[in-house]
Amino acid sequence: MLAVHIFSYFFTKLQEDPTKKVDRFLYRMRLHDDQLQDISARFQAEMKKGLCAESNPVATVKMLPTHVRSTPDGSEKGEFLALDLGGSRFKVLRVDVREARGMRPAAVEIEEATYPISNDVLIGKGTEVFDYVSESLKDFLQKKNMDLKKKHPLAFTFSFPCEHAAINKGVLLNWGKIFRARGLKGKEVVQALKDAIERTEDLDVEVVALVNDSVATMMSCGFDDRNCQIGLIIGTGTNACYMEEMRHIGRVPGDEGRMCVNTEWGAFGDDGALDDFITEFDREVDAASINPGKQLFEKMVSGMHQGELVRLIVLKMAKEGWLFDGHVSEALMAHGKITSAHVAAMEEYKTGLKNTRDILTDLGLHPSSDDCVAVQHVSTIVSFRSSNLVAAALSAILARVKANRNVGKLKISVGVDGTVYRTHPRYSKRLHKVLQRLIPECHVRFIQSNCGSSKGAALVAAVGQRLASQRRQIDEKLSTFELSLEQLQAVKTRMRADMEAGLTRKQLSAVKMLPTYVCGLPDGSESGRYLALDLGENSFKVLLVNLRRGQHLNSGLHQKIYSVPSTVMRGTSEELFDHLAECIGDFLDNMGLKSCRLPAGFSFPFPYEQTAVDSGTLVSWTKGFQVSDCDGRDVIQMLKEAVERRSDFELDIAAVVNDTVGTMMCCASEDPQCEIGLIIGAGTNICYMEDVKNIKTIDRVKGRAEKEEGTPGERFESGETLKMCINTECCGLGDDGSLSDIITQYDLEVDQTSLNTGKQTLEKLTSGMYLGEIVRQVLLDLTREGLLFRGRVTDRLKTPGIFDTKLLSKIESDRLAVLQVRCVLQQLGLDCNCDDSGIVKEVCAAVSRRAARLCGAVLAAVVDKIRETRGQDRLDISVGVDGALYKLHPHFSRVLRESTGVLAPRCSVTFLPSDEGSGKGAALVTVLTRQK
């Protein structure tokens, strides 16, 4: 009975489908999706290690920066030479790149010649390789009747791992494939080529780019599909590159934009990461290679090794009696007798089995039909594993790109080149299908490259020239916002001269230097209950401040914010002040205080002249207000009249205060050294405490200053009061043309479209109300010049006001990468790429930096004047600051501090950010007015 079972078992095996026998023999090569996901995760970890500067030295996947920062956009043009070196033959090409014009699409025309490389050169001296390349290049130029005396730009595709210091500099890390030339490892490749060109007579060539074949493939396909951000090579060797965010590339300074990274993924597994997937046949291939222990992933994937893997498997199966009745031919035992071309032929749809029989017969074997089926299946498993491994590694790259862009679905194109992908009848479909299973949330389009490595190298050079030209033009336009130290010193000097003129009124001054009749600072003894009224850019705040001696100003604070409609901002005086009175009445009603007659301070952030602390005659509107029949009228009186028209509550308005004064007073309640107020928000202004003896414009005749005993007027005469706060209204600096040398064409455009043309010059250069509009004007100009948004001037970009202070602050945030900036711009309806986003960020930085430095120059004039007035060699002083631009912008405050320090080196200035300072300060001025 046992004998029957044994006979039955062997009979079953003899009748077994030959493909199942191969499946069982090669079960370790058949990878399921869970294993591929595992491999993908391992490769992602290796990518991170390679990108990190600290871990890169021990990483096997080197993630080499290429210094290629952009893909083609269709505007590239020029004629280039290209060299393509990577195998036993190399190409010399003339590439003519034409930009798109009107209906004519961008195009590339190529002429090429192929030159064989002898084995002696491949394994000889490195100098011999490049001497041969240089001589062949000269031969090409002569045959194409190209001018040898003209300097020709040349792009060099060099398909070996290089460490790039620049786009045209690269140190060879190691040879691969069939190259073994001596003396070049660790040397600069472009310099070696240049030296060879110099040794060749009558040849004038400038090497402008050195690229890997995968990078060149990505660039070549990116010329036809701007969504192509990945390059893939599956041929004699294998590799991939992709566009990585600069902030993740640890070995290249800077974090803006993207750069192409050459993964050099052929070395994946050299550290043992793939040991549990490596078979005995892979180890045999590795041991017999010219670089044992290196490029293990490449040896499992590439066409150079697929045929040898098939040969080793078939040889072992034959020796163990699984094939050919155990017979082995000498040819089957010889290295290299089965190639990747044989593997592809065996898998042809219609002729695969016939091709397999022919190949085996040529090897001196006599295969049966089952043998042919089995060997064909071996080829299928080897090539299928290759495509599976490529899909796993590629899915890791896609996952990283998707995470970088922070999108739920990723649409991207992959440029592909290489004989395996191009010639194998089933490889591409298998790769696409497996990749879709591994990362279904990515929609991937594969673009097969045509002359990819050579054409792509020329496109790298073309893109480089385009970017360099654009860079020069952009830098030239943005340089108008860059102020030298001498220019800032001149602004400081002009501000100081206008301050002196404004204090004396001996001559006209654009800086008004308005007395505020605020003659003291809080000392902590203030107490009582007061209203504070704070009119802002488009809002009106009503505050109830309960002060207790020695307690923090924020204790006992109640407030409500009301909007000011644009119709009211541009209406009549009655409409504005009736609206304010209505808001005050509503607040008092909610607080149950309508029957109380509370003293109030009014923070009014517009230029006005005072003859007393409770009187202010409007000089002009700013910040977008344009209320009729107000100029020359007392704002306190207009508010009192509006309250009287309601007749449902009474209000004792004790003081009118500018927002800068309120900010200074608020911060002075916390720091007795605070004697300056600074507003950098919708508007720009400074106030400070000036010696009364220097204020020649105080009216000692009119108003309460002369009428009421103990008022500032009497104290001015007696000398009892030593200081008074001056509202500089520095926002008008330059209205007399004194800043014309730093005014740009964009500032002029903004001024022309403003409500007060020719006025508030400094404010229009520095305040949040105008900076966004300056940025828009710059972007509009760059777009019209074809330097931004692909030259498309949209209606949205032509719309005033689309940029505001918050948006500028957000765009310039260190935490906001270029990709996120792109999302912000797209939300504004601006169709842009990452290059555009980087330029927009630069424009915002240039405009805001100029603003901060100008504010620093003006503030330096104020602090230096205080120091000199006091006769001090050094001054320690604090500045109370308020305003959205100062508080929200990520870099404004730092640049302001730095500029002030450089321009006023003898002054130590402490900046105190204020919280709701203008309103609280108005209450404090009211306290001082009533208690003193």
**Among all residues, which ones are annotated catalytic?**
177, 213
What are the angstrom distances between the C-alpha of 51 and each of 47, 258, 652? Answer: 6, 13, 68
Three-class SS state of 632: coil
- Contact call for residues 822 and 866 (beta carbons, < 8 A): no
Beta bridge partners of 679: 685, 882
Instruction: Quote the distance between the C-alpha of residue 715 and its chain's center.
Output: 59
Angle among Cα 146, 151, 156 to the nearest 5 degrees reads 90
Q: Which of 335, 331, 236, 337 is nearest to 285 (CA)?
A: 335
Q: Which of 856, 522, 858, 868 is nearest to 690 (CA)?
A: 868
> 14 exposed, middle or buried (CB, 10 Å; 0-12, 13-18, 19+)?
exposed
CA atoms within a 13 Å half-sphere pointing along the CA-CB vector of 19: 7
In angstroms, rounded to a whole number, what is the distance separating the alpha carbons of residues 531 and 512? 29
- Contact call for residues 562 and 531 (beta carbons, < 8 A): no
Q: At a CB cut-off of 8 Å and minimum separation 6, what does 694 contact?
A: 503, 869
Cα-Cα-Cα-Cα dihedral sign, residues 733, 736, 742, 746? positive
DSSP line for 97-127:
EE--BTTBPPEEEEEEEEEE--HHHHTSBHH
Q: Would you tell me how many other CB atoms lie within 10 Å of the CB of residue 499? A: 25
What are the angstrom distances between the C-alpha of 799 and each of 608, 803, 832? Answer: 33, 10, 17
Q: At a CB cut-off of 8 Å and minimum separation 6, what does 563 contact?
A: 538, 539, 540
> 707 exposed, middle or buried (CB, 10 Å; 0-12, 13-18, 19+)?
exposed
Residue 865 in tokens: 């004047």
In angstroms, rounded to a whole number, what is the distance separating the alpha carbons of residues 361 and 782? 68
- For tokens 């499946």, the residue is 23
Cα-Cα-Cα-Cα dihedral sign, residues 378, 382, 387, 391? positive
What are the angstrom distances between the C-alpha of 601 and each of 9, 542, 655? Answer: 105, 10, 5
Q: Put residue 114 in one of left, alpha, beta given phi > 0 → left and psi -120 to 50 → alpha.
A: beta
DSSP state of 329: -
What are the angstrom distances between the C-alpha of 679 and each of 601, 685, 741, 884? Answer: 18, 5, 25, 9
DSSP line for 180-206:
--BT-TTSBHHHHHHHHHHHSSS--EE
In angstroms, rounded to a whole number, what is the distance separating the alpha carbons of residues 729 and 510? 9
> 468 exposed, middle or buried (CB, 10 Å; 0-12, 13-18, 19+)?
exposed
DSSP line for 285-316:
HHHTSSSTTS-HHHHHHSHHHHHHHHHHHHHH
Residue 279 in tokens: 């078979």
- Contact call for residues 761 and 732 (beta carbons, < 8 A): yes
Rounded-to-10 torsion of CA 330, 334, 340, 346: 10
Residue 621 in tokens: 């509107």
- Contact call for residues 804 and 811 (beta carbons, < 8 A): no
Q: Which of 453, 458, 372 is nearest to 416 (CA)?
A: 453
Q: Which helix (H) or strand (E) holds 768?
A: helix 768-784
